[in-house]
Each structure stands twice: as C-alpha cells, then as structure tokens.
Amino acid sequence: MEFKNSYLQGVYDTVQRRNQGEPEFLQAVKEVLESFEPVLEKRPELEETGIIDRIVEPERFITFRVSWVDDAGKVRVNRGYRVQFNSAIGPYKGGLRLHPSVNASVIKFLGFEQVFKNSLTGLPMGGGKGGSDFDPKGKSDGEVMRFCQSFMTELYRHIGPDTDVPAGDIGVGAREIGYLFGQYKRLTNSFTGVLTGKGLTYGGSLARTEATGFGLLYFTQEMLKEMKGDSLTGKTVVISGSGNVAIYACQKAAELGAKVVAMSDSGGYIYDEKGIDLAVVKEIKEGRRGRIKEYLEKVPTASYTEGCKGIWGVKCDIALPCATQNELDGEAADKLIANGVIAVAEGANMPSTPEAVQKFQKAGVLFGPAKAANAGGVATSGLEMSQNSMRYSWTFQEVDRKLHDIMVGIFHNAYNASKKFGDAGNLVMGANVAGFLKVADAMKWQGIAY
Ligand code: NDP
Ligand code: 2IT
C-alpha cells in the first residue's frame, strides 16, 4: 500500500492500470495524491463527487503525425501531442515542448502539473501541454519553420483563444512561436491571441521572456524572507540549464545581490567563481544557439566539466534546477545538503526526484516546488492574454510588478495551505492543495458531464 487512505489507493491503482509504461506521469500523480491525504480527512465530499477520480484523467488527449521535408529533400515524420487536461477554471493553457525525449508520459505529467500551477496564479486558465519528439538542435531555420507549419496544420483545429492557448517550453522560443502563429493565422484567417510568448511586434507581452526566471527569484526571495528571515544578498547560487528559464533566473539573482557561480547544458557545466558573466552566456545561447563550454573562450579563468549532473557537487547556498525533469536525484541532494544548501527552488518542471525532495525536507532545506516556483511564466502568459483581449499593452514595469505580486501571492497561498492542513512549511503539499481546491470547487459546480 502506497497510501494510508484506501480511496486514494484505489484512484492511484486505476491510474497505474490506465497509464502503464508512463513513469513521469505516474510520478507526478503520486506526489499530488499524497498531498491530498490530509485534505480528504477534512473534506469527505471530495470522494462523493468523484473529483479526484476525474482530475487524474485528461479531458482530451490528441496525438497526430507531423510530416515535413528536410533541407536535403528527405521526408521526415514526427509525432505531435496535445493534452487538454482540465478546463474547469479557464481555457486549456500550457506550453509546447520540442525535444527527442517527448512522449505521452512526459506530455501528460506536464499537463497534469499545469492544472494546479495555473490555478495557483489566480488567473482563469485551465491546464494543457503539448509538443513533439522533433529535435530542433542542428536544424536550419527553414526546417524548423516547415516542422512548425506542419505541426500547426493539425493543431489549429483543436485550439483557439477561448479554447486552448499554447506557449513555449523546452525547444520552443520566440522563433517557433512566430512560425506557429503565422500558420494559425493563415489557416483560420484570424489574428487572435491563440498563442503566448509572441514577438513584441505582433501581440507579445513585455516581460514574458524574462517571466519564469524572474518569477522564480521573486518566489525564492519571499520564501527566504518569510520562512528564515533571510535574503538573497551575498548568497552563492547554482543554476542548472542555460535556456530561457536559467538565463533570466541568473539575471534576477544577480540583480537581487546573489552571485551565480555555475550553469549548464546537457553537455556539461561551467564554474566561474567570480560570478557568471551573463552577457557571455546570452551571446552564446540566445545569439547563436551555441554550447555552454564556449563560455571558456571569453572567460578563460572559468572551468568546464563534461556531464551535467556534476553541477550539484558545486558548493552553494541556493540551488535552482532550471533544465529538465528528474535532473536532481537523491545523490545530488546529499551533496547539496552536505555542502550546506539552505534553499532549493524549482525553475524546471519536476526536476527533483521524489527521493531528493524527501531528503531536502528532512534536512530542513527550504523547498519551493515547480508548480509554485516556476508559475511566473504562465502567469505572464495569462497577462499576455488579458492584454490581447483588451487590444492594449502594459509597460515592462507594469507587467513585472504584477508578476512580482502574483509570485508573492503564490508563496503565501501555498504556505498558508501547508499550515492549515497540518504540515507547516511543506510547500509541496501546500501548493498541490491550494491549486487543487479552486479547481475542485469549479468542477463541483459545473456538474459531472466531464
Ligand atoms: P530551453 O529550451 O530554453 O532550455 C532548456 C535547457 O535545459 C537547456 O540548457 C538544455 O540544454 C537543458 N536541458 C534540456 N533537456 C535536458 C536534458 N534532458 N538533460 C540535460 N539538460 C537538458 O527551455 P526552458 O528554459 O524554457 O525550460 C527549462 C525548464 O523550465 C523545463 O523543465 C520547462 O518545462 C520549465 N519551464 C519553462 C517555462 C517557460 O516559460 N519557458 C515556464 C515554466 C517552466 P541543451 O541545450 O544542451 O539541450
Ligand atoms: O511549464 C510552463 O508553465 C510553461 N512552459 C509555460 C506555459 C505557458 O503557457 O506560458
């Protein structure tokens, strides 16, 4: 028996039976169901209305063939996905991931977590996610464009500004969103806010590019202040990844007085004891899609180590995993704890394994789970949707201030829920429960057609 509560055990047994061979999805569901144990004691009607049985089953799951022609004239085939997980509180909302590791399990775990994350933002967005096993690495702009056009040629019939609003994730940034938007507009003859993360000249929001990384630091700042009476000033920080989330986490950490000493990509990590020169990283990653080891060409005093896992052996006060799922395991957690880490906040989705989370919590390390800590990206996507609906745009400062307030609100919402349900400071439980209760209420009032 994995659960104390037999009803939750039954729900999980069904999820396991229906989703065999999908370890990431089962991992995400198990963590959330564990958080519901204290809630069910106080709210037995959740069992009677079948809310939990329903919330673990996606409303719709779409897979499709994506054929495109490469630069050599060869036909290539990938698989496209969109999971429309839950629409109780708003249109489905969530990113698209392009990475060779994408499969049904990865898309479903991301879509499931998005339901709770989007609820935590306080904005009216349901949960969804999509993507493909297409690998943008090493592809020309023309190949990426043809892939995106083919992908949208199927996806467009399933989405819309009031139905489902995709955005970026791993491998999907401004370039891909532009190609996807152009094709949607052509197919439907309509210019609408059907995607977020758009370019600033065609409906994008200021500060969306920065939002996930900035939001992660606003969350971390509030967590340190409220739970430890501490701040980011003078802290040493390690950030995994060097993509969209990692870069703007690094920028905001430095602005708030911390020193980031290590970053990585899937090849390895750099260590710069003077503090990472972010202009160099931006030029490599945003300027020419290069590799992190090229940092040494500009900063020869830094070091590069092959293999991305070693980054967790670098001594730091704060660790911010911002690359991908399960990148920080029990062994990595042991090293961070031995080196005196005081806080971990997840910029990536589910980057810490369950074993790592348990170790942090047991050691008294502050732990900000992804659903809360990285919600700044989708929150600002929600603000982009608002601006598109108004046909108006706010200044960078206006969006950034709203983002800051949303992240502070998310922290307190999760922290208060952890206290209310008997495990003060357990933000994993607090975030899951706070996100869930709003969705559950909306589902209850809308009846049982879904
Ligand atoms: P990017 O594609 O911009 O960057 C991804 C980074 O992670 C790269 O440095 C990449 O290295 C590394 N990475 C990806 N896959 C792996 C892997 N299997 N092993 C090791 N390193 C890997 O993506 P984002 O920065 O947008 O996303 C990073 C994480 O943040 C993801 O978990 C995403 O779901 C999450 N997230 C993103 C949001 C957003 O707004 N973009 C919002 C909330 C969460 P390499 O280049 O070598 O592949
Ligand atoms: O995981 C995430 O929250 C994202 N990739 C952002 C989704 C969005 O719709 O902006």
pLDDT at 152 over 70: yes
Q: What is the pLDDT of residue 376?
A: 98
Quick check: is 420 catalytic? no
* Contact residues of ligand 2, CB 6 A cut-off: 93-95, 117, 167, 169, 196, 349, 377-378, 381
Say how far apart CA 20 and CA 13 lie, in whole Å.
11
Q: Tokens standing for 259?
A: 């020193």
Instruction: Choose one of 102, 144, 244, 326 to mutate for the ligand 1 pocket test, by most ligand atoms within 8 angstroms of C-beta.
Output: 244
**Which pLDDT band holds residue 449 (cuts at 50, 70, 90)?**
confident
pLDDT of residue 450: 62
Q: How far does residue 125's CA lie from ligand 2's centre (Å)?
A: 11
Residue nearest atom 32 in ligand 1 by C-alpha distance: 348
Q: Domain map of the chain by residue range?
A: 6-55, 60-191, 211-368
Taking the CA of residue 166 as reference, the ligand 2 atom at the shortest distance is: 9
**Exposure b/e, 383-411, CB count within 10 A at least 16 = b:** bbbbbbeeeebbeeeebbebbbebbbebb
Q: How many CB atoms lie within 10 A of CB 355?
A: 14
Chain-centre distance for alpha carbon 315: 25
Residue 290: phi, psi to the nearest 5?
Answer: -90, -165
| Single-letter code of the amino acid located at 430 | G
Spatial neighbors of 137 by CB under 8 A, at least 6 apart, are: none
Mean pLDDT, range 247-276, rounded to an integer: 98
Tens digits of per-residue pLDDT, 299-314?
999 999 999 999 999 9
Buried b (16+ CB within 10 A) or exposed e, 149-159: bbbbbebbebb
pLDDT digits (tens, 9 = 90+) for 297-355: 999 999 999 999 999 999 999 999 999 999 999 999 999 999 999 999 999 999 999 99
Catalytic hit among 108, 129, 252, 285: 129
Where does the pLDDT of residue 405 fall: very low under 50, low under 70, confident under 90, or very high at 90 and above? very high
Q: What is the mean pLDDT of residues 90-106?
A: 98
Is the pLDDT reported for residue 445 higher than 80?
yes
Residue 425: is its pLDDT beyond 70?
A: yes
pLDDT the model gives residue 1:
75
CATH class of residue range 211-368: alpha beta
Nearest CA to ligand 1 atom 41: 169
Q: How far is CA 212 from CA 36, 348, 409, in A?
A: 27, 9, 15
- Give the bridge partners for 79, in sequence order: 65
Q: Please compute the mean of the pLDDT values over residues 21-32 and round it to a whole number.
A: 98
For ligand 1, the distance from its centroid to the CA atom of residue 441, given in whole angstroms, is: 33
Q: Give me 447's structure tokens.
A: 């009846």
Residue 59 CA to ligand 2 center (angstroms) comes to 19
Q: What is the mean pLDDT of residues 64-86?
A: 98
Q: Supply the pLDDT for residue 448.
A: 86
Q: What is the spatial distance between Cα 297 and Cα 304, in angstroms, rounded to a whole number? A: 11
Taking residues 47-56, report their average pLDDT: 95
How do residues 263-301 score in pLDDT, each as one tens digit? 999 999 999 999 999 999 999 999 999 999 999 999 999
Over residues 415-421, the mean pLDDT reads 98
- Residue nearest atom 10 in ligand 1 by C-alpha distance: 265
Q: What pLDDT, in 10s, does the model give residues 161-201?
A: 999 999 999 999 999 999 999 999 999 999 999 999 999 99
Q: What's the chain's average pLDDT? A: 97
- Whose C-alpha lies nearest to ligand 2, atom 9? 94
Instruction: Tell me if 60-191 shares its fold with 211-368.
Output: yes
Arithmetic mean of pLDDT, 367-387:
98
pLDDT of residue 363: 98
- How much is the pLDDT for 349? 98
pTM (predicted TM-score) = 0.98
CATH code reported for the domain at 60-191: 3.40.50.10860
347 lines ligand 1 (CB under 6 A): yes
Q: If you measure from the C-alpha of residue 377 to the centroid of ligand 2, how many angstroms do you get, rounded to a whole number?
A: 6
Which residues in 365-425 belong to E strands, given as ranges?
Answer: 366-368
The CA 82 to ligand 2 mean position distance, Å, reads 13
C-alpha closest to that of 348 among 117, 35, 163, 11: 117
